[in-house]
Amino acid sequence: MTASVAGKDPVLVLGAMSDIGRAIAQAYAAEGHPLHLAARHPERLETEAEDIRIRHNVAVATHAFDVLDLEGHGPFLDGLDPAPSVVVCVVGLLGDQQRSVEDPAAAELVMRTNYIGPSLILEAAAKRLERRGQGVLIGVSSVAGDRGRGSNYVYGSAKAGFTAYLSGLRARLCKSGLRVITVKPGFVDTRMTEGMDLPKRLTAQPEEVAKAVIAAHRQGRDVIYVRPIWRMIMTAIRVLPEPVFKRVKI
Amino acid sequence: MMLSGWGNFPRLDCRVAAMRGVEDIRAVLDEAPLIARGNGRSYGDAALQPHLTLLSRHLDRFLAFDPANGRLTCEAGVRLETILEVFVPRGWFPPVTPGTKFVTVGGMIASDVHGKNHHVAGSFGRHVESMRVMVADGRILECSRQEHADLFAATIGGMGLTGIILSASFRLLPIQSAWIRQETIRATTLEETLEAFEESADWTYTVSWIDCLQGGKCQGRSLLTRGEHAMPDELPAEVASQPLQPRRKRLKRVPMDFPSWALNSWSVRAFNALYYGAAPKTAAPRIVDYDSFFYPLDAILEWNRIYGRHGFTQYQCVLPKQAGREGLRRLLNTIQKTGSGSFLAVLKLFGKQDDLMSFPMEGYTLALDFPLRGPTLGLLLELDAIVADHGGRLYLAKDARSTPHMFRKGYPGVERFQEIRAHYGARGKMQSLQAERLDL
């Protein structure tokens, strides 16, 4: 990569083809950060990369990356030049709850894609950043991980695992100068939620998520909900006693 | 999903699908009739198809830019607003711009939009060098004035009825500043107004706001505004050091639908008197930022709500130049007689027509908003008759109610248009509610 703005940290976006990933990449580029975009299909990423170069005049590189290929995580990170000092993981898979309940393989894929893969790639990135003594790791988790609900607990439990992992990682790294940010977007108007009938007041646009991520990064926040109303909703959901909660259809 | 055009009429439940890439579109192509929709700023039923409306919001990537000649290639869902944000600071401006920047490139091509520079620059389609269009069978055709020239010509101004515009290349205009040198001329009669247009023919941008509630000797009184891109040495000292940095403004939003009685001939008359009276009497040049010059209404988000929840319609017609003067008089007489004038009555002299289905033709265009109430529809039919009498036509991007007969009379290219649509398999497949209404 060439022509990166002096002083701006290179940012790696994992899952850069997703609507939220795209928006986060655009937002960092708008602030002048050079980018590494990673996704399973790098040939399609090139269009995204060129779009960002034209709009923001920053250096953008594209990479093939599969979060499920655990063996490949290390070599992938070591191959990035310049090494990123901000790593954002947007990888996720909603899956279909009914299918996940019936088919263990489907459930396993949801668990690996939302929990194991994202946790371990950020762990691997943390090890590399620790050597340099600075960096920011950002994990896009979900409000679904705040409590297991009958309607989507396979996805929710995987996100819960990821949220817990991020929390632990943050605690372990807090003295090392590295920061970890957990992002819980709530409903977002993306491909993943297309066709669902979502309440407008609770549904963020991908650009809002990106703005919230950048703000959290600048302000040194640890855990953010994109729309503040979600913090209240999830607090209420968390404090319901289990005998009541189990009967609530949500 | 409930959808409507900018006029909020008609409003209906449409099945929608988002276009993110070619695969998404191919996956739903069998489910035609369908129509592509940009940012929903056409006023009527042009971007509505209850059966399937394809949303282009995510088809919004810049694909290539050549700083040597200003050629930009981008996907159809890119908004003009974004083009301005990215390229004005680098010294480039859209070659043609409509009165709002909240439109998409695909929409600008499909409606073949015009701007205040139509008399010198033609409509937007004139500046398009090539396009990629997906036709009804899923093929993607690269088209231009040389290649698939028939599809190219019919897609410009074709209201999305030939295929789905995926991307386009066009040349941006080099500018030296983000500012416009503007002059305003007060004209007290229609004669003076039309003379002012002739006299301003060398100006790049001309438009006039006309007070259509005035009759008698004040009929046609207007404020003609003309403008040029300002050179850096014309700018006031406080902005001259960064001539391409546009001024950032706070946007206001109309918070609610106004009750339908809020707009009446008295409130409009009062507004018009104030507006006309506030203008300087002599043509003193002023330097204004491009947003104020081109997009005054964009500063008020959701301004369509002042017309109340019943919605409104914008009536925009063009009359050929020879018959124009007489025709304009008859239109103004009719409007004045009924007293249903509008805040926004705009008159402009167009240059020559560009493409098969382009709305602009050499002559005068008049645009007015009317709240949708019973009597309005009767008035519009009267206006239709005058327009048809003088060999004029209506602008499809604004239309929600005209008849197939009126349409065919105004657009002699329609037979050829239908042949081209048939050739590319578009008939019955690429079909908006408007197309159905107009028997296309």
Distance from CA of B1 to the nearest CA of A (A): 9
Q: Which residues of chain B does A19 touch, with a Cβ-Cβ cutoff of 8 Å?
A: 58
Q: Which residues of chain A does B54 touch, with a Cβ-Cβ cutoff of 8 Å?
A: none
Predicted local confidence at residue B348, as pLDDT: 96
Q: Do A19 and B61 touch (CB under 8 A)?
A: no
Predicted local confidence at residue B218, as pLDDT: 86
Decide if pLDDT at B171 tops 90.
yes
Decide if pLDDT at B279 tops 80.
no
- Kindly report the CA angle at B139 between B133 and B143, in degrees rounded to 5? 35
Residue A3 placed within a domain? no
Residue of B nearest to A198 (CA): B1
Out of A94-98, B135-139, B273-277, pick the least confident.
B273-277
Q: Between these two residues, B341 and A218, which has the higher pLDDT value?
A: A218
The residue among A17, A55, A200, A205 with the most chain B CBs within 10 A of its CB, best to mutate, is A55
Does the CB of A50 have a partner CB in chain B at under 8 Å?
Answer: yes
Cross-strand pairs, B147: none
Q: Strand B312-320 and strand B393-394: pairing?
A: antiparallel
Decide if pLDDT at A1 tops 50.
no
Average pLDDT over residues A139-159: 96
Q: How many domains does chain A have?
A: 1
Supply the CATH number for residue A188's domain.
Answer: 3.40.50.720
Residue of B nearest to A196 (CA): B1
Which of B18, B21, B86 shows the shortest C-beta gap to A55? B86
Contact criterion met (CB below 8 Å) for A25 and A35: yes
Total Cβ atoms within 10 A of residue A39:
25
The residue among A22, A45, A54 with the most chain B CBs within 10 A of its CB, best to mutate, is A54
* Segments forming the whole domain that contains residue A112: 11-245
Sequence-distant contacts of A152-157: CB under 8 A, at least 24 apart = A152/A94, A152/A97, A153/A97, A154/A95, A154/A97, A154/A100, A154/A101, A154/A107, A154/A110, A154/A111, A155/A93, A155/A94, A155/A95, A155/A97, A155/A100, A155/A110, A155/A114, A157/A111, A157/A115
Predicted local confidence at residue B387, as pLDDT: 97
Distance from CA of B86 to the nearest CA of A (A): 6
Decide if pLDDT at B282 tops 70.
no
Q: Which of B91, B97, B15 has its CA nearest to residue B48? A: B15
Q: Between these two residues, B146 and B372, which has the higher pLDDT value?
A: B146
Q: Strand B346-350 and strand B252-253: pairing?
A: unpaired
CB-based burial label for B380 (10 Å; 0-12, 13-18, 19+):
buried
Q: How high does pLDDT run on average in chain A?
A: 94
Q: Which residues of chain B does A51 touch, with a Cβ-Cβ cutoff of 8 Å?
A: 61-63
Integer angstrom CA distances of residue A186 from A149, B2, B46, B135: 14, 24, 34, 38
What's at B341, amino acid-wise?
A: G
Predicted local confidence at residue A141, as pLDDT: 98
The confidence band for B283, taking pLDDT boundaries of 50, 70 and 90, is low
Dihedral Cα A204, B4, B97, A55, nearest 10 deg: 20
Q: Which of B38, A16, A217 has its CA nearest to residue B46? A: B38
Out of A177-181, B169-173, B332-336, B435-439, pick the least confident.
B332-336
**CATH 3.30.565.10 matches B62-175:** no
Decide if pLDDT at B109 tops 80.
yes
Residue A146 placed within a domain? yes
Q: Which residues of chain B does A48 touch, with a Cβ-Cβ cutoff of 8 Å?
A: 61
Predicted local confidence at residue B259, as pLDDT: 64
Q: Do B62 and A50 touch (CB under 8 A)?
A: yes
Decide if pLDDT at A166 tops 90.
yes
CB-based burial label for B335 (10 Å; 0-12, 13-18, 19+):
buried
Decide if pLDDT at A3 tops 50.
no
Residue A32 placed within a domain? yes
CB-based burial label for A130 (10 Å; 0-12, 13-18, 19+):
middle
Domain extents for chain B?
A: 62-175, 179-403
Q: Do B61 and A48 touch (CB under 8 A)?
A: yes
Active-site positions of A read: 155
Q: Which residues of chain B does A50 touch, with a Cβ-Cβ cutoff of 8 Å?
A: 61-64
Report the complex ipTM.
Answer: 0.88
Distance from CA of A55 to the nearest CA of B (A): 6
Decide if pLDDT at B314 tops 70.
yes
Three-state DSSP state, A203: strand
Predicted local confidence at residue A7, as pLDDT: 72
Give percent of chain B above pLDDT 70: 93
Dump pLDDT digits (tens) for A7-54: 799 999 999 999 999 999 999 999 999 999 999 988 889 999 999 999
Average pLDDT over residues A230-239: 94
Dump pLDDT digits (tens) for B248-277: 666 677 766 766 666 666 676 777 777 777
First-last CA distance in chain B? 25
Class of domain B179-403: alpha beta
Q: Which residues of chain A does B64 touch, with a Cβ-Cβ cutoff of 8 Å?
A: 50, 54
Structure tokens at A171: 């605690």
Residue of A nearest to B23 (CA): A44
Does the CB of A54 have a partner CB in chain B at under 8 Å?
Answer: yes
Tracing tokens 């034209």 back to the chain, one arrives at A54
Q: Which residues contact A28 (CB under 8 A, 6 or more apart)?
A: A11, A13, A35, A86, A214
- CB-defined contacts A:B, below 8 A: 22
Decide if pLDDT at B245 tops 80.
yes
Residue A218 placed within a domain? yes
Average pLDDT over residues B220-236: 94
Does the CB of A208 have a partner CB in chain B at under 8 Å?
Answer: no
Distance from CA of B79 to the nearest CA of A (A): 13
Decide if pLDDT at B181 tops 70.
yes
Does the CB of A48 have a partner CB in chain B at under 8 Å?
Answer: yes
Give percent of chain B above pLDDT 90: 76
Q: Which residues contact A109 (CB under 8 A, 6 or more apart)?
A: A93, A95
Q: Do B18 and A47 touch (CB under 8 A)?
A: no
Structure tokens at B384: 């239709």
**Residue A208 Cα to chain centre, angstroms:** 14
Residue A6 placed within a domain? no
Decide if pLDDT at A4 tops 80.
no
Tracing tokens 């060999």 back to the chain, one arrives at B391
Dump pLDDT digits (tens) for A98-135: 999 999 999 999 999 999 999 999 999 999 999 989 99
Q: Do A47 and B61 touch (CB under 8 A)?
A: yes
Predicted local confidence at residue A91, as pLDDT: 98
